[in-house]
Amino acid sequence: MSRKVSPPATIVFSPEGSPIPGSLQEWLGRQSSPVIRVSVADELMAIALRSRPRLVVFDDRGAGESLAACRRLKTDSYTGVVPAFMLCGEGVANVKSSFDAGADEAIIPGLDDSEMIRRLEAVLSRSHRDLGVHPSTRLPGAGAIEAEIMRRLKLPDMFAVCYADLDHFKEYNDRYSYNEGDRVIRILAMLLHDVVKGLCGERAFVGHIGGDDFIFIIPYDMIADTCEEITSTFDLLVPYQYSEIDRRAGYFFGKDRRGVLDRVPLMTLSIGVVTNAQRTFTEPRQVSRLATEMKTYAKTLEGSVYSIDRRTDDRPPVFEVPYPGLNEAGEQE
């Protein structure tokens, strides 16, 4: 039996227990998020650390304890991402103090109710967007990738989900340091974004699963142009991420994943491609599983390559719909 997951709670922190504005109370009542009222900072932090809340509304219209509580929430690395909405007392100084304490939004009494709700929803929207991107590349993360695949599945257009992964990245990281590894990942992120968006514009999506794993989604008819541009450009750039000695040799001696010392070639890029041209998908995990499978297959091939899934729902390959960039044997032309 599947276990139902409760949505994250909204916390109202009010040291003096004062009622919050009626419009805010009504808005909270319309949300799926349960509301927890708290008056002690220690209790607030205990709840926030146990199960990160969706939002904390601080009532700072009284003695000022909310500022210290907000600062504690925002200082902790785990709870610091929780959006904090501050109800201030009168005066600009109170607004300034709220922002100094780390609040994401602060309002003073007398603000129009609709304006207050718009600001509150904007805080949540910004928080959702910021949590959905990878911190090092600023590309959309796993949640946004899944949502984009689901969106595409509801449309009639043919599309391709491409899973890009670096080969021999771990060995590079071990030799050159994680700092250099991060730099390579950022280079790859920029390459994918610039090529995919440059060729496909707003019809394309680029996301970062994590580490050296990326997903980009493009129109079906742009598979060959996009993937070939990415792999060829990557092969031009990657040698310059190595020392001159390693670059000239084309390899270095390092330990593989089994701890065996061997020649490690320069990094290459493998891309597994899944399309809806000859398959019917109903949910993102189907696409994800096949994209992972095709990426794994691509990594068995030599060099920087892309490999397209040519199977149908019942598996045998068909050729009614030609794949751009492939010959009849299913190989890159």
Q: First and final CA of the chain: distance in angstroms?
A: 49
Break the chain into its structural domains and give their ranges.
10-131, 142-308
Q: What is the pLDDT of residue 78?
A: 82
CATH class of 142-308: alpha beta
Half-sphere exposure of residue 230: CA atoms within 13 angstroms, side-chain side? 38
CA neighbor of 207 nearest in space, from 273, 134, 127: 134
Q: Is the dihedral of CA 31, 33, 37, 39 positive or negative?
A: negative
Q: What is the pLDDT of residue 81?
A: 87
Per-10-residue mean pLDDT of the chain, 333 residues long, equals 64 90 90 92 92 91 87 89 90 88 90 90 85 80 92 95 96 93 95 96 94 96 97 97 95 80 93 94 94 96 95 58 43 46
Residues with Cβ within 8 Å of residue 105, at least 6 apart in sequence? 83, 84, 85, 86, 119, 120, 122, 123
Helix (H, G, I), strand (E, B) or coil at 328: coil
DSSP state for residue 238 in the 8-state scheme: G
Helix (H, G, I), strand (E, B) or coil at 146: helix
Second-level CATH architecture of 10-131: 3-Layer(aba) Sandwich (3.40)
CB atoms within 10 A of CB 68: 12
What global pTM score does this model have? Answer: 0.72
Q: Let me know how many helices (H) and strands (E) the chain has, helices first.
A: 11, 12
Residues with Cβ within 8 Å of residue 207, at least 6 apart in sequence? 139, 140, 141, 142, 144, 145, 148, 214, 215, 216
Distance CA 153, CA 147 (A): 10
Q: What is the pLDDT of residue 12?
A: 95
DSSP state for residue 200 in the 8-state scheme: H
The DSSP code sequence of 78-101 is: TTTTS-EEEEE-SSHHHHHHHHHT
CB 132 within 8 A of CB 143: yes
- CA-to-CA separations, 310 to 156, 229, 323, 326, in angstroms, rounded: 19, 21, 8, 10
Residues with Cβ within 8 Å of residue 29, at least 6 apart in sequence? 35
Q: What is the pLDDT of residue 257?
A: 67
